[in-house]
Amino acid sequence: MDDRQNMADHKLTIEKAQVAAAASPGEAEVTGDRPLYRRRPCLICLGVTVTIVVILVIILIILFFTLLKAKDPRIKVNSLLLENFQAALSLPTFQPAITLVLSLNVTINNPNRSSFKYNNSTSYLFYHGETVGEAPIPAGQISALGKQTLVTLLHIQADRFLLNPNLLPDVTLGILPISSQTILSGRVKLLKLIKRHATSTTVCDIVVSITNRTISNLQCNYKVKL
């Protein structure tokens, strides 16, 4: 009798173990699915955030290379007038005496959508590659997409001019080939945060007629540093 009871108990224990083993995988599956299900909204939110950030970065890059890209100012020479010119030979040494004053009229265009603040600059006069005169250009500011006209007087420094060995041959020919250079540099402030440097250079070749006391030829080249 006891043996039969023990066998029945043993059989019942085996059946309970089989039922528990069969139920364990299902419980494991339910337990494993719950964390993934709970993390899904977080993953969606993270994906949306990353997408928005990428779109904003692309928009900023497009703005930087189009509307917000700093552009260098453009200097246009409107006129170059001969204000005063005197050339003569000093006796008895026959040394040439030169007095030359040029009036340079230029317009500065600011192509940026922000104001352009330029520093103190200088216009130079050259005679056969040597500096013979200069004129200061005071600092200023040009509004966004605006322009400004400046007039400056270029005076020849007689001592530098007279020491040049090309002066006497040029006076004999009746011409004075000179050149002017104007460099304008400053900063453009984009969105009141980003500062970018900008520089523009204008070089003009001038031929002054000694006989007529006028400018017989004027050619200007504009160089923009991007």
pLDDT reported for residue 31: 47
Regions of the chain short of the pLDDT cut 70: 1-39, 63-70, 87-96, 190-194, 223-226
pLDDT reported for residue 65: 61
pLDDT reported for residue 213: 75
pLDDT reported for residue 27: 47
Class of 74-225 in CATH? mainly beta
| Half-sphere exposure at residue 220, Cβ-oriented, CA atoms within 13 angstroms | 16
DSSP state of 37: H
pLDDT reported for residue 29: 47
pLDDT reported for residue 17: 56
Torsion of CA 137, 138, 141, 142, to 10 degrees: -30
Task: List the chain domain ranges.
Answer: 1-66, 74-225
pLDDT reported for residue 30: 47
H/E segment holding residue 73: none
DSSP helix/strand/coil, 40: helix
